[in-house]
Amino acid sequence: MAIRIAQFTFNAFSENTYVLADDAGEAIIIDPGMTDVQEDAILFEYITEENLIPRLILNTHCHLDHILGNSAAAEKYGIDMWCHAFEIPVIERAASTSLMFGIPYRPSVMPARLLSEHEEITIGGISLKTLFVPGHAPGHLAFVCHDERVVFSGDVLFQGSVGRVDLPGCNAADLVASIQQKMYQLPDDFVVYSGHGPSTTVGDEKRNNFFVREDWSGL
């Protein structure tokens, strides 16, 4: 069963939100970053037009730009959000983070389930496996879809770059280890859908990503 993947770019940080859907229309929303009702409408209209039935919100991590639309999506569709336990303090700091960046604050729902590494998440015909990839955030997860040979990396790995490590809970050594020991262990042809910017592949980043090297100490 093929999985449809739709990408939307929201908010002042150009954050990527993803909607995964199976042939029957059952769907997962990853990192809803909508910042206002206008951006809500973009996502909701797509879901309506495609006759999708959202079943779950997954957060790779809970930095402000990745959770701004959590409550709107949860309330619209009556669904839960799942993330790692280490991200709860990040959610609790979101109000102060919004002041720091001058972004209007939209409170997030709290997780209904706490995820850990190597969990299998199955919604309809969508099957995802979790990888624990801290560094950019303390409880950062990546979601791997082996059937489609894709990984949703959040802000761990980008095309030609990596996640920042100057925020509370960040750790440069952990980020490098997460990329080298987790992300780079996936097959080279796996497509990487990142939290910002265009998609890439694991192989392209192994060959070309300047930041992931032995002497790298963080952005």
- For residue 70, give Cα distances in angstroms to 112, 188, 207, 216: 12, 32, 35, 34
Residue 121, classified by CB atoms within 10 Å of its CB into exposed (0-12), middle (13-18) or buried (19+), is: middle
pLDDT at 218: 54
**Predicted confidence band of residue 214 (pLDDT cuts 50, 70, 90):** very low
Residue spans per domain, the chain: 4-208
Q: Using one digit for the tens of pLDDT, what is the confidence trace for 155-212?
A: 999 999 999 998 888 899 999 999 999 999 999 999 999 999 999 999 999 999 999 8
Q: Using one digit for the tens of pLDDT, what is the confidence trace for 32-57?
A: 999 999 999 999 999 999 999 999 99
- What are the tokens at 111? 């997780």
Could you tell me the fold of the domain covering 4-208?
Metallo-beta-lactamase; Chain A (3.60.15)
- Comparing CA positions, the residue from 112, 146, 153, 154 lying closest to residue 129 is 146
- What are the tokens at 1? 């069963």
Amino acid identity for residue 53 in this structure: I
CB neighbour burial string for 54-69, b if at least 16 within 10 angstroms, e if fewer: bbbbbbbbbbbbbbbb
Q: Using one digit for the tens of pLDDT, what is the confidence trace for 81-113?
A: 999 999 999 999 998 888 888 888 999 999 999
